[in-house]
Amino acid sequence: MSFVEVTRGDSPVVLGLPHTGTGLPSECLAELNETGRAIADTDWHIHKLYADLLNNPSSVRTTVHRYVIDVNRDPSGQSLYPGQNTTGLCPLTDFDGVPIYLDGQAPGAAEIERRRIAYHAPYHAALAAELQRVKAIHGFAVLYDCHSIRSYIPFLFDGTLPDFNIGTNTGMTCDPTLETAVANLCHSAKGYTTTANGRFKGGWTTRHYGQPAQGIHAIQMELAQSTYMIERDPWTYVSEIADRTRTHLKTILETLSDWRPQ
C-alpha cells in the first residue's frame, strides 16, 4: 500500500503537503491514547485550500498522520529548534505538551526506525524525484511547503501567531528575490499579518532541499488556521474566510511560477 500521493505537473512549482494526512495504521492506532487518536495537530484542509490555485503544479503528499512519523523532521531525530518546545520525529506529545501515547506504549528506537523506513523515506524519495524531474524541465525548481497551525498555542510560541509565516531558514533556502517577492505580497495583503523567519523558519524539508546554488529553491508557508477555518474540533473549513485567503495564496503561487533565475 502506498502512503504517498504524487501529482506531476509542468510548472516549476512543487507543492509539499507533509501534514495533511490523517491515516493511523492499526499498529500505531492501538498505542495512542484518547488525545493521540483525536489527531488535533493536523494541517486541516490544506490540500483543499491550495487546490486549483495554480495551473498544473506538481504536488507530493503523505496520507499518514504526523503522530505516526513527522516527515518534516530530521530523520536523525535532531531538533529543528534547539532549546525551544517542539515536537520530534515521532512525537510523544501534542502541540499543547499533552502525552499522546498510552502508558508504556511510546515507540522505541527500533519502532521509530521501522516507521522511518516505511513512511518517512518513501515520502522524501518521491519529493526528491519530483524536484529533480521539474528541475530537468526548467533548469530549476521551487518547492513551496504548505503548512498550517492553530494561531494560539502557548506551549510552542508566545501570543498569537501572524497569519502568514514565511520560512527560508533566514534566507538560506531560496534566492533572495523569491523571499522578497513573497514577503511583499504578504505585507500588502490587507487585513493580514505576516512575518519571515519568526517562530517558523522552515522545517527539515525546506532546509534539506533548499539549495539555491544547485537550482532548488524552497520556501515554507505556515498559515494561521484562523485564516481559513475554525480552530477547534470539528475543525470546520469556512469558505467565506478561506476564499479571501485563497486569493492571496493564488497570487503568491503565480508569482513563484513566473519567477526565473537571473
The answer to whether residue 78 scores a pLDDT higher than 80 is no
Q: Answer positive or negative: Cα dihedral of 124, 126, 131, 136.
A: positive
Q: How confident is the model at residue 160 (pLDDT cuts 50, 70, 90)?
A: very high
- The β-bridge partners of 14 are 58, 143
Q: Return all residues near 209 (Cβ < 8 A) that are at least 6 apart.
A: 127, 128, 131, 143, 173, 216, 218
Q: How confident is the model at residue 203 (pLDDT cuts 50, 70, 90)?
A: very high
Q: Which three cell numbers stand for residue 39?
A: 489527531
From the list 35, 33, 92, the residue with the least C-alpha distance to 68 is 92
CATH superfamily of 4-258: Zn-dependent exopeptidases (3.40.630.40)
What is the residue whose three cell numbers read 520525529?
Answer: 89
What b/e string do you get for 181-207 counting C-beta neighbours within 10 Å, with b at 16 or more? bbbebbeebeebbbbbbebbbbbbbbb
Q: Answer positive or negative: Cα dihedral of 223, 226, 231, 235.
A: negative
C-alpha span between 22 and 31 (Å, rounded): 16
Check residues 13 and 85 and name the one with the higher pLDDT: 13
Per-residue pLDDT of 173-197, as tens digits, reads 999 999 999 999 999 999 999 999 9
DSSP structural state of residue 90: S
For the segment 105-120, the average pLDDT, to the nearest whole number, is 97
Percent of the chain with pLDDT over 70: 97
Q: Return all residues near 88 (Cβ < 8 A) that are at least 6 apart.
A: 70, 73, 77, 79
CB 39 within 8 A of CB 87: no
Domain ranges of the chain: 4-258
